[in-house]
Amino acid sequence: MTTRPPSRGGAGRRGAGPSRSGTPGKSGGPGRPSAQGKFSGKPGRPGKPGAFKRPDRERTGPRTSALDAAQRAAENRGEAGKPAPWRPGQQPRDREEAEHEAFEALTEAAPRPPRTRAPRPDAAEARPRRADSDTRAGAPAGEAPTRREQRAAASATLASGVQTLTVEEDEAGMRIDRFLTTRFPQLPFTRVQSIVRKGELRVDGKRAKPNDRLEPSMSVRVPPLKLDAQGERPRSAAKDATDADFIRSLILYEDAEMMILNKPFGLAVQGGSGTVRHVDGLLEALTGKDGQKPRLVHRLDKDTAGCLIVAKTRLAAATLAKSFRSRSARKVYWALTAGVPRVPQGRISTYLAKEEPTDADARMRVAQHGDEGAAHALTYYAMVDNAAQKLSWLSLKPVTGRTHQLRAHAAHIGHPIVGDPKYFSIENWELPGGIQNRLHLLARRIVIPHPKTGRPVDVTAPLPPHMAQSWNLLGFDAARYDPIVEAPEA
């Protein structure tokens, strides 16, 4: 019987051919057949260490291993005596790993060409990563950041760069500016208004408008905010206690979900240019142990006193905000106006737009339908009493909630509110003696469904000191019947 001789360099020929180290006849090394005739190295491309050579491409002569090349390169650089990179007490698993690690250590100073081929699919199984591979063994401390440090640095960079935020369930119905203020409390409100006004926000890829409302799962793209690096600023316990006591002194109604404050005249609701003390900042003192800070649901002008609703949870804030949008909330305002309207009860329906669109606190003007920025505004009014045909006590019920709506509407019918620095423009009009030159506008009463039970919460605010003084001087009785309750709701 004739047998076929084994092919040159094949797996059936033990000890034939040069080994990776250049010593012929040795078996069991990487890239060579083992004693059982099986290839013990890893599959790879021809010409690479550890690759199985095809018989027709077998070459003769000495071969140079990666370790030999690295050692010669080290000798040329004068680094031949550099120790192996593995740690004391831990030896490499096999010669292939020893050569690999030695080559990495000896050639780390030389630039490496970028890899263009994808890693072998069995690379992770053949050589599992060590748990501490974030730092290279033997590298000097502080020479390069670890991967964990790189990830932290990337996160810090992202915090001041473009971000994409997802609207949560309890943020449903929020205005886009309120959403930003909630997510970035250290960002001034004027900056928030500027970002929205300039169209720098994108909601689901579309340019956002100031009055846009958000829904759960929406994607909000936020531009680079360039926030100042702020650490944990120590809060004064005494100041927090003082602020908390002041806020509690304003409470007209409170439960686990919400509270209604009696906002005083001259106290801003939110911060702005030059505004340091405001309701939103004072509410920080009431932050609970769970980190929940009471949230504003709507706003009042700085010089308007009266009922201001504050939610204690984000879910309550979203529910109450929906009540305002659906006009389920009923609001009644009291005002002292110049002159007496010829029609004691009436309806004011106009379109309002800002005189300066880029100014957040600009004066509102009566506009035409279709004008840029114009929005419909509807108010019912009723005269409760008057004084010598010179001053009127008006009760106002706004159906819509436009900026400066009541002040602009009162001026539009020729009876501006006393003490209004923006809309009072009657020539040669003198303030009656004893009446302070302050805005005489009060958010007198609010009725709104409870965010949890749905039952109406009805709260009435007392007259602020300057309006109480005027009521006493003019002989008005605050307990008198208010005919505005009979006005329509739409």
φ/ψ of residue 384, rounded to 5: -85, -40
Residues 264 and 262: their CA atoms lie apart, in Å, by: 6
98 Cβ contact partners less than 8 Å away, ≥ 6 residues apart = 67, 84, 92
Residues 99 and 105: their CA atoms lie apart, in Å, by: 10
21-46 burial, b at 16+ Cβ within 10 Å, e below that, comes to beeeeeeebbbbbeeeeeebbbeeee
DSSP-based helix, strand, coil % in the chain, nearest 5:
25, 20, 55
- Cβ atoms 454, 329 nearer than 8 A: no
Catalytic hit among 280, 301, 303, 420: 301
Tokens matching residue 7: 């092919």
- The SS3 of residue 480 is coil
Active site residue 170: no
Give the H or E element holding residue 375. strand 375-387
- List C-alpha distances in Å: 218 to 50, 173, 179, 208: 53, 11, 12, 12
- Cβ atoms 19, 53 nearer than 8 A: no
Active site residues: 301
